[in-house]
Chain A
Amino acid sequence: MEAVARRKAAAYVCLSCTRQFQRHIRRQYHNAAPRPDIYDVVCVGGGPAGLSLLTALRANPVTSHLRVALVEAQDLSKVKSWKLPPSKYSNRCSSLTPTSAFYLDQIGAWEHLDQTRVQPYHEMQVWDGVTDARIEFDWAPGSALVEGTTIAYMNENLNLTSGLLKRLEQLGGVSVFEGAKVENITFGEETEDLDLRQWPVVHISGGKQLTARLLVGADGANSPVRAFAGIDAKGWDYNRHGVVATLEMEGEGWGGEHTKIAYQRFLPTGPVAMLPMPGKYSTLVWSTTPENASILKSLSPKDFVAMVNAAFRLSPVDLAFMHTQGANQDYEYSWRLQHTSFNPRAIPQTVVGVQEGTIASFPLKMRHADTYIGERVALVGDAAHTIHPLAGQGLNQGQGDVQSLAKTIEHAVTHGQDIGSIMSLESYVSERYTANHVLLGVVDKLHKLYSAESGPLVPLRSLGLNAVNALGPLKSFFMKQAAGSGTKLF
C-alpha cells in the first residue's frame, strides 16, 4: 500500500501511459480519501502563452518526461477546429516578430498555422497626426537587412492557438482540463512521509484537485495565479479603449501582394493603426477615449468606414468634430476630404467595407507584476505584464517569457534542481524582467508623448520623428527592435 502511494506520489513519471491528448476530465478518485494528484507543471490558461509553454516543454526531449496539465476555462475543441473562409478574418490579430515566429518554428508549431492566413509585412509608415512628421520604416539600401525583409507577421490569435493545439495533440502527453475554471488555489497538506504544505493545489470546477510542483500562471491580465501568489501588479489604466475591426480595402495595398505596409498615425486621443492581412483585408487597432470608442461602435458600417478613412487623412480637429455627429459621417467625410491635401501613396488605401460583427473594443492598461516568480509559481504573458498595443508587442513579450522559462526548466531538469524552487526559477526573472520593463516603459512614454495636442512637447516630437527619419543607422536600430532581430535590448 505504501509502495503504491509512493509511486503515485513520485512526480517525475514516464508519460507513456498518459501519452494521449486527453480531452475528458479523468476521474482519479477511488473509494478512499483522494491521494494528491501531482503534476510537475500545472499551467492555468490556454492562451498563446500557456499553449506555447506546454508545446515547448513537450517538444524538448529533456523536459518531455515531465507530467504536465493544462487548465483552461474555454472549450478548446472549438479553438482547435477553428476555421473561417478566406474572405473573413477574426478581429483579434497580433503581429508576430520574426523572433517569435522562429521560436514557434523551433517548437514545431509554426507549420500548424494556416499559412494562407498569415501576412508578412515589409514596411511601416508612422507619422504624427498633429505635426505630420514621419518615419518611413522600410529597409534602407545598405542596411544589414535587405529590402523585402519581413518586419513582422500579422496573424489571427486563433490561428496561433489553433495551430499550437494541433501541435500539442501531435506531441501528446498533456492532461487537458478544458471548460474548467480555476475556483480556488490552496496549499497541500503534511502527512507522515510527505510535506506538501508549500505545493499549490488547484481546485477546478467539477471538484478535481491538481497538485503542482510548478504552477504556471498563463491566465491573462486578471491572473488568479498571480493573486494566489500574492504578487502585486502595478500600473495604470490609460483611460483609453482599443477599437478593433476587420476591414476590406480597395486593393491589395500600394506595394501589391509582395510588399505589404503597416500604417500607424499618432492622434491626440491615441494611435490608430492599420495592419495588412492577406488579400484586400486589413485589421484595425484604434486607441481612443472610451466615449469615442462607444460612438464608433454605435455607427452604421458606412459611417464607421468613413471615420476610419478620416482617421488616416483628416486633421485632428476635423476628426474630433466628426465624433460629435450622431450619424452621416460618410457624407461629412467626403466633403471635408476635398479640402484636405495629402499624399495618397503615404497613407493606406481607402477602406471600402467592414466585416460584420468584428467591431469591438477593450480597455487599455499598463500593468507589470512586481516579480514573475514565487515558491512553486511562475507567471508568463499577460499575467506578468500588460502593455499598450501601440507597439504590437503584447504577444511577443509572452513568447519571450515562454522561451526563457522553458530554458530555465530545462536547465533545472538537467541539473537535478526542483523546477518549482525559487533557486531554479531565479534566472527566468533576471532574464525577462528588465527586458519587459524597458519595453513597457518605452511604449508607455511614447503613448504619453503623442497624446498631447499642444504644449511644449509637440514641436519636440516632430523634431524627434524627423530626426529619426534622417538618421539612417538609428532608424534601422529601431526597426530591428520592432522585428526582434536587433541587439537584445527589449
Chain B
Amino acid sequence: MLPPSPLRQLAPTIARRVRNPRTIARLASTPQCFAPVTESPSVRTQRWHSNHNDSRPPSSSSVNPDEISHFNALAATWWDPHGSSRALHLMNPLRHDFIQTCRSSSPTSSFTVLTEDSGDELPSSSPDAPTYSTTANVQKLRYLDIGCGGGIFAESAARLPTTESVLAIDPSPGVLAIARSHAKKDPSLSPKLTYLSSTIESLPTLKPEAVEKKFDVVSCFEVIEHVDHPALFLDHVAKFVKPGGWLVMSTIARTWTSWFTTNFMAEDVLGIVPKGTHDWNKYINEYELRGYFEETEEKRRFWGQPRAMGVVYVPGLGWKEVPGSEKVGNYFLGVQRLASEDA
C-alpha cells in the first residue's frame, strides 16, 4: 500500500477528470496554456478556460461522452474506503461544514437550523454538544446534487435528520448503478434519496411559480471543472435554486501549484493517473467563479455575496480549512439566491 501523500490523495480527484484528446494535443503544443494566474479582471469572464475559443458550439449537455465512459471505469472502487476515492470520502464532512457555514451566515436561508425544543429529552447536564434539532416542526431541506457520482455526498445529505429529500443526478450510467446498489445497503436512504440518470440541462426546468419544488441546497462538487461552458452551465443550475436557497460548489484553482501537483507530478512523474486524464486548462480560479455571480447588475440582484473556503490536504490529518488557500488549490464557493424572479 502506498504511504499517504498529498499526491496520492489528490489522485482520485484527478482521476475523475476528463480524458480529452484535443486538450492533450493543445497542452503539448501551446506552452501559454499555463496562463499566469494574475490575469486582469477585465478579461476574466471570457477567459475561464484556455479553450474558450473552441470552435465547438455550446452543446445541449454540459458533459461529453468521453467523460461518461471515464467515470464508468472508476465506478468499482468508488466506495472502497482505501480505494481511489478516499480523498473524496475524507473531504465529504467538510462539504457539510461549508453548507452549514453558508446557511447560518444568512438569516434568510429557507429555515434556520439549530434549535432544540424537545425539553424532556435534553438532560440538564448534557454534554456540550451543538444543538441539533431532529424534530418535525422545522422545515426540512430539499437537496439537488448535480454530478453525484457514486453518491458519497448524496447519501450523506439524505442521512441528515434535517433533510427532506435528495435528488441526485449524474449522466454516467455505470456510476449511477454503483450509487444505486450502494444505497441499497442502507435502509434509511430509500425514503429520501432518488437517483436520476440526467444532466442538469435535460432535467425538466421548474416553473418560476413552483418555488416549493425547487431546492434549498444545490450542490456541484468537483463538477464545474468538467464542464465545457461553465457560465451556461451555471445559468441552467440557477433555475433550480429556491429563493433563499444556496448553490454550493467545489473545484480546484488553475495555478502553478495545482498544475505541478495534479498534472506534472501525478501524471508525468509518478504516473499515478493515466497521462492526459485531466485538463488543467479547465480548472477555474476562485476569482473567476466569483466573478460570474458579480459580473452584472442583474446577477448581483439575483445572487448574494459569494463565500469561499480554501481546503488543503494534510497527510495524516485529512482535509483542513486553510484561509487563503482558495487562491491556490481546492476550494468551496457558496452563493445564496436572493431574488424571487427567475433567472
| Residues of A in contact with B (beta carbons under 8 Å apart) | 6-7, 9-12, 14, 38, 56, 59-62, 64-65, 105-108, 111, 170-171, 193-199, 213, 410-411, 413-418, 421-423, 426
Contacts and interface: CB of A to CB of B under 8 A. Distances in A.
Contacts of A198: 185
B126 interface: yes
A55 to B, nearest CB: 10
Contacts of A195: 181, 184-185
Interface string B101-141: 00000000000000010100111111111111010000000
Given A414-B132, A415-B93, A11 B188 contact: yes
B126 A10 contact: no
Nearest to A38: B187
B160 interface: yes
A171 B123 contact: yes
Contact of A410 (B125, B129, B131, B161): B129
16 contacts: A9-B190, A59-B123, A61-B116, A62-B129, A65-B134, A65-B161, A107-B125, A108-B123, A197-B185, A198-B185, A413-B161, A414-B96, A416-B163, A417-B92, A417-B159, A426-B81
Nearest to B192: A10
B158 to A, nearest CB: 7
B341 interface: no
Contacts of B185: 195-199
Nearest to B156: A416
Given A65-B161, A423-B89, A59 B187 contact: no
Contacts, number: 102
Contacts of B184: 193-195
A6 to B, nearest CB: 6
B212 interface: no
B126 A416 contact: no
B166 to A, nearest CB: 10
B52 to A, nearest CB: 37
A197 B181 CA distance: 12
A448 B180 CA distance: 56
B326 interface: no
Contact of B121 (A12, A64, A111, A418): A64
Contacts of B96: 414-416
Contact of B155 (A171, A193, A199, A416): A416
Given A56-B127, A415-B93, A423-B81, A194 B187 contact: yes
A252 to B, nearest CB: 32
A62 B188 CA distance: 17
B221 to A, nearest CB: 14
B118 A61 contact: yes
B343 to A, nearest CB: 29
Contacts of A105: 125
Given A171-B121, A421-B81, 8 more contacts: A11-B186, A38-B187, A65-B134, A106-B126, A193-B184, A196-B185, A414-B160, A417-B156
B123 to A, nearest CB: 5
B225 to A, nearest CB: 24
A227 B155 CA distance: 31
Given A64-B121, A195-B185, A10 B191 contact: yes
B241 interface: no
| Contact residues of B: prevailing secondary structure | loop
Contact of B131 (A7, A61, A421): A61
B335 interface: no
B311 interface: no
Contacts of B128: 106
B157 interface: yes
Given A56-B127, A61-B131, A194-B187, A415 B156 contact: yes
B110 to A, nearest CB: 18
Given A195-B181, A416-B96, A59 B191 contact: no
A111 B123 CA distance: 13
B159 A12 contact: yes
Contacts of B125: 59, 105-108, 111
A59 B126 contact: yes
Determine which residue in A62, A111, A198 has the highest number of CB atoms from chain B within 10 A of its CB, and name it. A62
A417 B93 contact: yes
Contacts of A197: 185
A12 B156 contact: no
Given A61-B131, A416-B160, A193 B190 contact: yes
Which 4 pairs, one residue from A and one from B, show the smallest C-beta to C-beta distance? Answer: A416-B156, A9-B187, A415-B93, A416-B159
A418 B159 contact: yes
Nearest to B94: A415
Contacts of A108: 123-126
Determine which residue in A111, A418, A422 has the highest number of CB atoms from chain B within 10 A of its CB, and name it. A418
A56 to B, nearest CB: 7
Determine which residue in A56, A61, A194, A199 has the highest number of CB atoms from chain B within 10 A of its CB, and name it. A61
Nearest to A410: B129
Nearest to A211: B187
Contact of B191 (A7, A171, A416, A422): A7
Contact of A418 (B130, B131, B186): B186
A171 B126 CA distance: 11
A414 B96 CA distance: 8
Nearest to A11: B188
Nearest to A415: B93
Nearest to B132: A62
A107 B122 CA distance: 11
Contacts of B123: 59, 108, 170-171
Interface string B264-283: 00000000000000000000
Contacts of A56: 127
B81 A61 contact: no
Determine which residue in B132, B134, B184, B186 has the highest number of CB atoms from chain A within 10 A of its CB, and name it. B186
A60 B126 CA distance: 6
Determine which residue in A11, A411, A414, A422 has the highest number of CB atoms from chain B within 10 A of its CB, and name it. A414
B85 to A, nearest CB: 10
B95 to A, nearest CB: 9
B129 A6 contact: no
Contacts of A421: 81
A485 B339 CA distance: 54
A107 B127 contact: yes
A106 B155 CA distance: 32
A45 to B, nearest CB: 22
A12 B181 contact: no
Given A61-B122, A423-B89, A6 B190 contact: yes
B93 A12 contact: no
A410 B89 CA distance: 17
Contacts of B124: 108
A108 B129 CA distance: 14
Nearest to A418: B186
Nearest to A65: B134
